[in-house]
Each structure stands twice: as structure tokens, then as C-alpha cells.
């Protein structure tokens, strides 16, 4: 009896030691891997499968040391076998959950659910995207170029660059009605974190993707929680310990309209089976200065927030809709009415919100689009525009071919309305990633291409090209805006042996032209009422005079 009691104690001790070691290992793995404690997360089941295998291995290793020659209290099989079986059983259940959960979540069984995640509204191109004369609402600069400019800006600040680096992940935001790309500084390495954690992260970089410039901005209060923080200062760890069951999507650094820093953290929810049709259901607004946060339902997110749905998710959800609306098997074999997005996207700002732009093509098409969609990055709204023409990569190739001798590379384009024409607009970069030219390509006819060193120059050249090709249905003179003005002042200035006439209107706008081009300008007097046609310049309030009449 004593021997049996001793064996039971050893067996119990064996289980306790195995459990204790497994708990310690499990805590360490959880602390660093940070899986969501949620059955809809594949990381959750992977974590428990790992722990099951750890327990089985630890128990098998501990038993010969602690439980030598014990009498089994549960039958002929040894206690070691049961301990190992428990661990293997947990691992097997987790593996089965991953396998069968993945199969049960497949599009084959939930095609309607996947297709019904979004609703796509038909948009009116000319109404939703009014004709533009200058581009101030599109982030033409891509992230790669933003990184170059941002790093150069930080490099000029010796007191900062020695301790911090620029985070490579830029968020596209609309700040005070202007497109901006922002990213926060990070500790340069582990030792820089040790040296500076008391001071925190001092600021962020803001890039103007329209004006091709960048600036470093200091926070009012330094940031404590960062991606490069360690242990308790780690952003992901702080979020996980605050929200252990949430499945985090990609998080984005943003600033509100007052310049206060926040991380926008989408929380994903499964809509099909255990893991399928993952979409944003809730959003955490995390303050990295003091660690406070607030959880919102996705429909209640504050209006200043720009990125809730990232561009990849927006495109993926449209592809579910485009391919699966006719059923799963139709998406595999028949492909009737199946459509999909092109494999990249651009940005545009409409009504203070950031929208993604991407083309839509038939799944059997090669180099043409049947239309395009824009997706609201905050609300998830979709609008489809039936504007057929060249897909984006064909347009990019056309723009690159226009200046092929320079070897420039086109960025992924966005869309504008020029003279009623759907038009791709993009930048052309040199091998160093710097913007050198702007290019516009007609969507319906990508043989119509124009470039310029400034946006105004490129748009003007494009308008002229449209007129010459008769696409817009107007003469070259008609493509320029007109105004009725009263002359307040006339000045003639000699610039580089060229007589330049500056006519100041009663509203303060200045129109310039050359006497070499139009000698009749000497007849203009103060007080004259003129009808003028003009083109914009890069300087606000200064126009280039095209024609005039009394």
C-alpha cells in the first residue's frame, strides 16, 4: 500500500512538474508571439498545438527521472503514456481544428457569404469626380519615393538621426484636407531604446506627395509605445495584453486634425466558418503617448480616421464579390460575368476621406479594363464606374515609352477627369526613386500621352493633345478656362531680354504673357473689362494668359 501511495505521489509530481514547465514555456511563447485567444484565429490553434507537443515531450522527459519504477494507478499502461497521450491529444485536436476549420471556411461552401461581404454601387464619373485643372487631392508619390524623401529629411537632423530611424511603413492620410503620408520615428536599435526610452519617440515625418516635400514634426508629448519598443514599451504587446481576444489586422499610424498621434488598429472577424471571409468588425484607437485606447464598432469610427480597411483587403473583398457572385463553380469553370481588380491600387481624396482606386477587368481579359472601383478606406463603401479602356500597367508602359530614352519608371496611377475624359495620372521616377516627370494617359486610348516637369505643365500638354486628337470635341483654344475681369494694373517687365506683360485683375489674380507672342497687349489699359482664357501655373494666383478680348 505504501509503495502504491508513493507511486501515486511520484505520478502526481510528474504531472505537476510537466505542467509547470509547460506553463512557463507557454507564457514565454505567448509573451513574444502574442497570439489572439480567439477560436477564429489560426494563431490560437497553432499555439495550443505547440503547447500540447511541449507537454507531451516534457512529460516523457520528466517521467524517467521523477517516476522511477512507479506502479501505474490507471491500469497496465504507464503514467508516462497517459501524460504523453494528453499532450498529443491536445495537439491533434488543434491540428484538426486548423485543417477542418480551414476546409469548412472555404469559398466552395460559402460562395454567397464571401460575395455578399460588400455592396457595390454604380457611380457617376463626371459627378463624383469633377473636371480638374490641377491635382491637389491625389497622392501621386508612392511609398518608395516617400521613404527616400523622409530619410533625407531626418538625415538633416543630427540630434535625431543618431538615435532614431524612420519607420518604413507610411500611412496615407488626409490631413487638413490635403493628402499626406506620415510615419513615426523608431528607436534605431535595442541599445538606442535603452538610452532613450525615458524620453520616448520625439516626432514623426510628414511627406507631401503632391508637392514632393517632407518635414519632421515634433510631438507635443513624446510617444512611449512603439513598434521598436521592447518589453513593456512594445506597441503590439501593450495592445495584446489590453485586448487578449481580438484578432488584429494591420495597424496604421495616423494623426488627428490637431496633430495628436494615434494607432488605428482594425480587429478582424470571421464571417464564413471558423476562419473564412475575414473582415474588419471593430477598430481600436490607441494613444501611444499614454497607452489609453478606445474600442469602436466599425460603423462608429470617428470621421478624422482615414485607414480602417487597407488597400489589399479592399481589393480582396471586391474579388470575392466579382468572382463568386455567380457561385463557386462558375468562378472555376464558366467564369460568366466574373471580374477582378488589377493587382495594385492608388489613392485619391474625396470629401475629406481617403479612397483607393483600382481598375476592374474580366478574369479572361489581358490588357483592358471594363471599369474601375474606388473604395472608402474608412467606411468600406464601394463605387463602380463603367469606363472601359487600358488597364493600368498598359498605361504605365505608355507613359514610360514616351520618355524611354531617360529610363524612367512609372508609379501606379490614379484617376482624374480632364475635359470630361477619364485619365490616368502618374509620376515618372529615376533610378534613385525621385520624381522627375508627371504623365497623363487617356483611359480609353492609351496612345494619347502627355508629360511635363510640373503637374500644370503636364495637364496643359494633355489638354492640347486631346484637342489635337479631337477626343474632347473642342478646339485647342476651348480647352482653357475663361474669366471675366476688370484690369486694375498693367506692368511690362524685361526678363532675359523678353518683354513680359503682367495684368492684375480686380480680384488680385495676375495674368502673364509675352509681347513677343501677342503684341496687341500694349493696347490693354487700366479699367478695361476683358474676357480672358488662361492656364494655371504652380504659383497660386498667377495664370498664364492664352487669349483675351474686350
pTM: 0.81
Q: Distance between CA atoms of 3 and 5, rounded to whole angstroms?
A: 5
Q: Output helix, strand, coil percentages for the chain, rounded to the nearest 5.
A: 35, 30, 35
Grid coordinates standing for 339? 471580374
Q: Is 105 exposed, middle or buried (0-12, 13-18, 19+ CB in 10 A)?
A: buried
Q: Distance between CA atoms of 547 and 532, rounded to whole angstroms?
A: 6
In 3D space, the residue among 130, 140, 136 whose CA is nearest the CA of residue 417 turns out to be: 130
Q: Distance between CA atoms of 11 and 79, rounded to whole angstroms?
A: 7
Half-sphere exposure of 173 (CA within 13 A, CB side): 26
Q: Which helix (H) or strand (E) holds 273?
A: none
Please state, as a whole number, how many other Cβ atoms lie within 10 Å of the Cβ of residue 240.
Answer: 20
Polymer length in residues for the chain: 550
Q: Distance between CA atoms of 223 and 234, rounded to whole angstroms?
A: 11
In 3D space, the residue among 471, 474, 407, 411 whose CA is nearest the CA of residue 443 turns out to be: 471
The answer to whether the CB of 229 falls within 8 A of the CB of 235 is yes
Mode of pairing for the β-strands spanning 421-429 and 409-410: antiparallel
Mode of pairing for the β-strands spanning 120-122 and 382-385: parallel
In 3D space, the residue among 152, 260, 135, 167 whose CA is nearest the CA of residue 213 turns out to be: 152
Q: Which helix (H) or strand (E) holds 345?
A: none
Please state, as a whole number, how many other Cβ atoms lie within 10 Å of the Cβ of residue 184.
Answer: 27
Tens of pLDDT along the chain (550 residues) come to 455 556 667 777 888 888 999 999 999 999 999 999 999 999 999 999 999 999 999 988 887 776 665 544 444 455 557 778 889 999 999 999 999 999 999 999 999 999 999 999 998 888 888 777 667 667 777 777 778 877 777 766 767 778 888 898 999 998 887 888 999 999 999 999 999 998 999 999 998 887 778 888 999 899 999 999 999 999 999 999 999 999 999 999 999 988 899 999 999 999 999 999 999 999 999 999 999 999 999 999 999 999 999 999 999 999 999 999 999 999 898 888 899 998 888 888 888 889 999 999 988 766 688 899 999 999 999 999 988 888 888 899 999 998 888 889 998 888 888 888 889 998 899 888 778 899 999 998 888 999 988 887 888 888 888 887 877 655 555 567 788 999 999 998 887 778 899 999 999 999 999 888 788 888 899 999 999 888 777 787 898 887 888 8
Q: Distance between CA atoms of 175 and 180, rounded to whole angstroms?
A: 6
Amino acid at each position: 500500500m505504501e509503495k502504491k501511495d508513493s507511486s501515486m505521489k511520484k505520478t502526481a509530481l510528474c504531472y505537476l512538474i510537466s505542467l509547470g514547465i509547460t506553463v512557463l514555456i507557454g507564457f514565454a511563447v505567448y509573451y513574444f508571439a502574442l497570439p489572439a485567444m480567439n477560436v477564429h484565429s489560426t494563431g490560437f490553434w497553432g499555439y495550443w498545438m505547440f503547447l500540447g507537443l511541449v507537454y507531451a515531450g516534457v512529460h516523457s522527459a520528466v517521467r524517467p527521472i521523477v517516476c522511477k519504477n512507479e506502479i501505474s494507478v490507471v491500469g497496465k499502461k504507464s503514467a508516462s503514456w497517459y501524460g504523453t497521450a494528453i499532450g498529443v491529444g491536445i495537439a491533434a485536436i488543434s491540428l484538426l481544428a486548423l485543417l477542418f476549420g480551414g476546409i469548412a471556411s472555404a469559398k466552395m461552401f460559402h460562395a454567397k457569404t464571401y460575395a455578399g461581404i460588400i455592396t457595390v454601387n454604380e457611380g457617376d464619373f463626371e459627378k463624383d469626380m469633377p473636371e480638374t485643372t490641377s491635382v491637389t487631392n491625389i497622392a501621386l508619390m508612392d511609398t518608395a519615393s516617400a521613404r527616400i524623401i523622409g530619410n533625407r529629411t531626418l538625415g538633416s537632423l543630427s540630434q535625431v538621426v543618431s538615435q532614431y530611424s524612420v519607420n518604413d511603413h507610411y500611412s496615407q492620410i488626409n490631413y487638413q484636407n490635403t493628402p499626406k503620408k506620415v510615419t513615426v520615428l523608431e528607436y534605431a536599435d535595442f541599445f538606442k531604446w535603452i538610452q532613450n526610452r525615458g524620453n520616448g519617440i520625439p516626432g514623426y515625418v510628414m511627406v507631401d506627395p503632391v508637392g514632393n516635400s517632407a518635414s519632421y514634426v515634433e510631438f507635443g508629448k513624446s510617444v512611449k509605445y512603439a513598434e521598436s519598443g521592447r518589453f513593456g514599451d512594445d506597441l503590439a504587446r501593450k495592445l495584446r495584453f489590453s485586448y487578449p481576444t481580438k484578432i488584429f489586422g494591420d495597424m496604421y499610424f495616423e494623426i488627428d486634425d490637431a496633430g495628436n498621434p494615434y494607432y488605428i488598429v482594425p480587429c478582424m472577424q470571421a464571417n464564413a466558418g471558423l476562419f473564412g471571409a475575414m473582415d474588419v468588425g471593430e477598430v481600436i484607437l490607441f494613444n501611444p503617448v499614454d497607452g489609453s485606447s478606445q474600442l469602436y464598432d466599425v460603423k462608429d469610427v470617428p470621421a478624422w480616421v482615414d485607414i480602417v480597411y487597407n488597400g489589399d483587403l479592399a481589393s480582396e473583398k471586391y474579388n470575392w464579390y466579382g468572382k463568386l457572385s455567380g457561385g463557386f463553380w462558375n468562378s472555376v469553370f464558366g467564369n460568366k460575368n466574373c471580374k477582378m481588380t488589377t493587382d495594385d491600387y492608388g489613392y485619391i481624396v474625396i470629401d475629406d476621406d481617403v479612397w483607393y482606386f483600382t481598375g476592374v477587368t474580366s478574369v479572361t481579359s489581358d490588357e483592358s479594363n471594363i471599369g474601375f472601383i474606388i473604395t472608402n478606406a474608412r467606411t468600406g463603401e464601394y463605387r463602380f464606374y463603367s469606363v472601359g479602356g487600358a488597364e493600368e500597367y498598359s498605361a504605365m508602359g505608355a507613359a514610360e515609352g514616351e520618355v524611354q530614352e531617360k529610363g524612367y519608371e512609372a508609379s501606379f496611377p490614379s484617376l482624374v477627369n480632364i475635359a470630361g475624359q477619364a485619365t490616368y495620372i502618374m509620376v515618372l521616377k529615376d533610378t534613385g526613386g525621385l520624381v522627375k516627370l508627371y504623365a497623363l494617359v487617356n483611359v480609353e486610348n492609351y496612345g494619347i500621352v502627355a508629360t511635363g516637369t510640373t503637374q500644370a505643365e503636364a495637364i496643359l500638354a494633355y489638354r492640347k493633345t486631346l484637342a489635337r486628337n479631337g477626343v474632347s470635341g473642342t478646339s485647342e483654344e476651348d480647352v482653357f478656362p475663361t474669366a471675366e475681369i476688370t484690369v486694375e494694373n498693367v506692368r511690362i517687365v524685361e526678363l532675359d531680354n523678353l518683354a513680359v506683360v503682367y495684368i492684375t485683375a480686380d480680384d488680385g489674380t495676375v495674368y502673364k504673357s509675352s509681347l513677343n507672342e501677342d503684341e496687341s497687349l500694349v493696347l490693354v489699359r487700366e479699367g478695361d473689362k476683358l474676357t480672358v482664357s488662361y492656364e494655371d501655373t504652380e504659383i497660386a494666383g498667377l495664370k498664364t494668359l492664352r487669349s483675351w478680348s474686350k
